[in-house]
Structure 1
């Protein structure tokens, strides 16, 4: 695959970068694990528990996608559910000891890939890049067409 040229759209470039990030993360997981559950592992890495709805929001995915991801993680013994003591209708997702170990590795791998991806940028450029990317995200999150059927 050839590198994209500057004439490609911002959407293409960010999607291409996201795929490269995912590949770089996947290569660093020694046991063949996927970067798919990374947002969940990072959100629960400190041992706290969160409801599925909040995890879906953090990962920016729909509820059915989150349910499938959590199901796979539970199957792989990375995660378990316990009743929410404040809401009897829902449960909280917790990482198991195996999940906490995977989360620690995920944090390490994520930081490594993040640092590697920014090596050619100065500290000021890194800060500017992150600021601009956050602004693009805010613009896209404000796009009302994203919530329309």
Structure 2
């Protein structure tokens, strides 16, 4: 059996992720959002995070890229910052009325794109794919955490 690196799950998932990102970006751009904004928008809307540090943790990205994204989102009128009454060194981040008004259309566009992309799948296959991807992400998180722990002095 010949090993084909282009047929590995990692490569195929990467191709699928890039395809979803292109599709989502095209549908979100007219609404003033980008794919990278999604974790921030969801976390702020659902109350799961309200500081830059918490948003970076929620989105699983480092603080410097999160700071840059938040600066762009603030510039574009999607978020606003206010001083944290409990910690004067920190600021609370909230969605603006503009972002809140656009969110339902953005969510609808994303769900529609996902439905179209999975149009050749049965509902059971789509559910199974989601379940398998969640298991894979959990496994990858466990592996990367274990490797990071091994590198510590």
Return the TM-score normalized by structure 1: 0.82
C-alpha displacement at 1:105, in angstroms? 2.6
- What are the residue-to-residue correspondences of 1:96-107 with 2, within 5 Å? 96-107=96-107
C-alpha displacement at 1:84, in angstroms? 2.5
Identify the residue that residue 125 of structure 2 maps to in structure 1: 125
- Number of aligned residue pairs: give it: 145
- What are the residue-to-residue correspondences of 1:1-149 with 2, within 5 Å? 8-29=7-28, 30=30, 33-45=33-45, 50-143=50-143, 144-146=146-148, 148=151
* Greater helix proportion: 2
Cα–Cα, structure 1 residues 101 and 146, in superposed 2: closer, same or farther, change >3 Å?
farther
Structure 1 segments of 4+ aligned residues over 6 angstroms from their partners: none
Highest CA radius of gyration, 1 or 2?
2
Q: CA RMSD in A?
A: 2.5
1-structure distance, mates of 2:42, 2:103: 6
Listed one character per residue, the Cα deviations across residues 68-98 of structure 1 (whole Å, up to 9, x for unaligned) are 1001000111111112234333222101111
C-alpha displacement at 1:39, in angstroms? 1.7
Return the TM-score normalized by structure 2: 0.81
* Greater strand proportion: 1
Which stretch of structure 1 is more off in the superposition, 63-72 or 80-89? Answer: 80-89
Cα–Cα, structure 1 residues 48 and 10, in superposed 2: closer, same or farther, change >3 Å?
closer
Q: Which runs of 5+ in 1 are unaligned?
A: none
Q: Which runs of 5+ in 2 are unaligned?
A: none
Cα–Cα, structure 1 residues 49 and 129, in superposed 2: closer, same or farther, change >3 Å?
closer
Structure of greater relative contact order (alpha carbons < 8 Å, 6+ residues apart): 1
